[in-house]
Structure 1
Amino acid sequence: MTIKQIIDNITNYETIIIHRHIRPDPDAFGSQGGLRELIKASFPEKQVFMVGEEDPSLKFLVEMDKVPDEAYRGALVIACDTANAPRIDDDRYSQGSKLLKIDHHPNVHPYGDINWVDTGASSTSEMIYDLYLHGREAGWQLNDRGARLLYAGIVGDTGRFLFPNATEKTFSYAGELVDYSFDRAALYDGLYSMEEKLVRLKGYILQNCKLSEEGVCVLYLDKGLLDSYNVEASETSRLVGIPDELMGIKAWVYFIEESDQIRVRLRSKGPVINELAAKYNGGGHPMASGATVYSWEEAERLAEDLKETCRVFGQK
């Protein structure tokens, strides 16, 4: 059984280094940090590190470690919440003795020595709690810090339990996690409160949510616009759900200009969009995906493809 293999490997290795995907979200940090806290609480003598770029908006959740190259020698490396190897943050992930993948995205690109992929899980954080429940019989422990991080990851990937990926199991696990001692109100404030500049950009987005006849909303956040609001491209993640409230919407896409590429955030309320994302250098969930394009012309083609996807969906 894959979970038993993961438990055995974590038990047997003395140094464990945990990675997650680039452009992290709450589930990336929650699963990565929650797993670290779970291992440290269960095996205080082990060396357990987290690596990856910091995200200023999520630094309140957990901070990364500075890990020297030599630490990877003989280490177990675990990649959380990362569908394909090129999206693993910090390319030293291949320098360890063994690589494990723990993820809830479709397993289109398997990598590593052991893959534990559960597309029925709401989040990778939910899977880490599952791992704890399996390890509990052997004396594994989960502390308050770990519970806080796993709860944050579940909340983030379920949209505060509003998305259909929140199952009965999700609610059951969340109910158990809130029994731990952490400040839920402060956690929600950290995840969802916004600086004034983001609130003003939110106003712009609300004013420019125009619905096509196919039920698609397309939003362009070019560098000039972002600069006018003094907002970095990485800060726009908190705004991605805004069009969800628009009556009749089937899917929406943000094109967010960065220095060398245009980041694409895709969301859907029915049509499957991860195949479209894969066509444009991305991937993800059927209802929530990301991609990358390199010109506004390519962005227009993706937008037209999304409209066609929704048009076909509407004919079913």
Structure 2
Amino acid sequence: MTLHKIMDAIKQHKTIIIHRHVRPDPDALGSQGGLAEFIRYNFPEKKVLITGENEPSLQFLTKMDEVSDKDYEGALVIVCDTANQPRIDDQRYAEGAMLIKIDHHPIVDEYGDISWVDTQASSASEMVYSLYKKMAEQGYSLNERAASLLYAGIVGDTGRFLFPSTTEKTFAAASELVSYNFDRPEMYNQLYRTPVKVAKLKGYVLENFTLYPQGYSTVRLPKDILDKYEVSPTETSAIVGLLGDIEGILAWVYFVEEEDSIRVRLRSKGPIVNKIAENHNGGGHPMAAGATASSWEETDVIAEELKEACASFARDNK
């Protein structure tokens, strides 16, 4: 069984290095940091490191370690919450002795000596919780720090338990995790605090989004708009769900201009959008995905594909 193989690998290796995807969200950091804290708590003799770029807006969750090339010698490497190898933050992930993939996205890229993919899980953090529960059968336990990180990851990827990915299993995990003594109200405050500049950008989006007859909506955020509101491309993640409650919108897309590309954020209330993302150097869940466009002309192509996805969904659900 896959979980037993992962458990054995954790027990056998003296050094464990944990990665996650670039541009981390709460689930990426929650699963990465939560797994690291769980292993450290139960195996204090092991060297456990987490690596990747720090995300300033989420450093209240966890900060990355300094990891040298030498650390990878003979190490177990675990990658959390990352469907495909190009999106793994810190490309030294292949330099260890063994590689494990823990992910809940549809399979885009088969990698790892051990691959544990559960598309029914709400989050990678929920999967790490499942690993803990299996290891608890052998006497291992969870500490408050690990519990808080896993809970943050679950909350982040379920949209505070509003998304369809939330299951009975998700609520059971959350129920146990909140029994640990961490400051849950403060966590929510940190996760959902809205800076004034982001609030003003929300106003801009609500005034300028386009809703088409097929039920899809587009939002363009070129660099001059981001500069005007002093918001970074990363900070736009806080407004992705903004259009979800608007009547008539089946799916929507944000096009966010970065230095040398355009970040694409796709969301849906029915039409499948991850296939669109896969056509444009991306991927994700059926109703929440991301991609990268090389030009504004390519964003027009993406908008057309979203139009067809919505039209097809409407035909199939008459």
Question: TM-score, normalised on structure 2?
Answer: 0.98
Separation in 2 of the partners of 1:87 and 1:268?
Answer: 22
The aligned counterpart of 1:171 is 171
The aligned counterpart of 2:275 is 275
Separation in 2 of the partners of 1:313 and 1:267?
Answer: 14
Deviation at 1:209, TM superposition (A): 2.8
Separation in 2 of the partners of 1:171 and 1:207?
Answer: 36
The aligned counterpart of 1:51 is 51
The aligned counterpart of 2:302 is 302
The aligned counterpart of 1:231 is 231
| Residue identity in the other structure for 1:191 | L
Separation in 1 of the partners of 2:34 and 2:248?
Answer: 38
Structure 2 counterpart SS, 1:49: strand
Structure 2 counterpart SS, 1:231: coil
Separation in 2 of the partners of 1:190 and 1:111?
Answer: 34
Deviation string, structure 1 residues 59-85 (Cα, Å, up to 9, x no partner): 110000011110000000000000011
Deviation at 1:249, TM superposition (A): 1.0
Separation in 2 of the partners of 1:143 and 1:238?
Answer: 29
8 Å CA contact 1:220–1:254 kept in 2: the answer is: yes
8 Å CA contact 1:221–1:257 kept in 2: the answer is: yes
Given the alignment of the two structures, is residue 222 of structure 1 paired with residue 222 of structure 2, yes or no?
A: yes
The aligned counterpart of 1:12 is 12
8 Å CA contact 1:3–1:131 kept in 2: the answer is: yes
8 Å CA contact 2:108–2:283 kept in 1: the answer is: no
8 Å CA contact 1:16–1:76 kept in 2: the answer is: yes
Given the alignment of the two structures, is residue 158 of structure 1 paired with residue 175 of structure 2, yes or no?
A: no
Deviation at 1:108, TM superposition (A): 2.5
Where do residues 96-115 of structure 1 align in structure 2 (5 Å cutoff)? 96-115=96-115
| Residue identity in the other structure for 2:46 | K
Separation in 1 of the partners of 2:153 and 2:108?
Answer: 22
Deviation string, structure 1 residues 149-180 (Cα, Å, up to 9, x no partner): 00000000000000000000001110110000
Structure 2 counterpart SS, 1:141: coil
Separation in 1 of the partners of 2:182 and 2:248?
Answer: 39
Identity of aligned residues (%): 59
**Runs of 4+, deviation exceeding 3 Å:** none
The aligned counterpart of 1:126 is 126
Separation in 2 of the partners of 1:279 and 1:204?
Answer: 29
8 Å CA contact 1:42–1:139 kept in 2: the answer is: no
| Residue identity in the other structure for 2:84 | N
The aligned counterpart of 2:74 is 74
User: Can you give the 5+ residue segments of structure 1 that lack an aligned partner in the other structure?
Assistant: none
Deviation at 1:248, TM superposition (A): 1.7
Deviation string, structure 1 residues 25-70 (Cα, Å, up to 9, x no partner): 1000000000001101111111000000011111110000011110
Deviation at 1:310, TM superposition (A): 0.4
Separation in 2 of the partners of 1:141 and 1:45?
Answer: 16
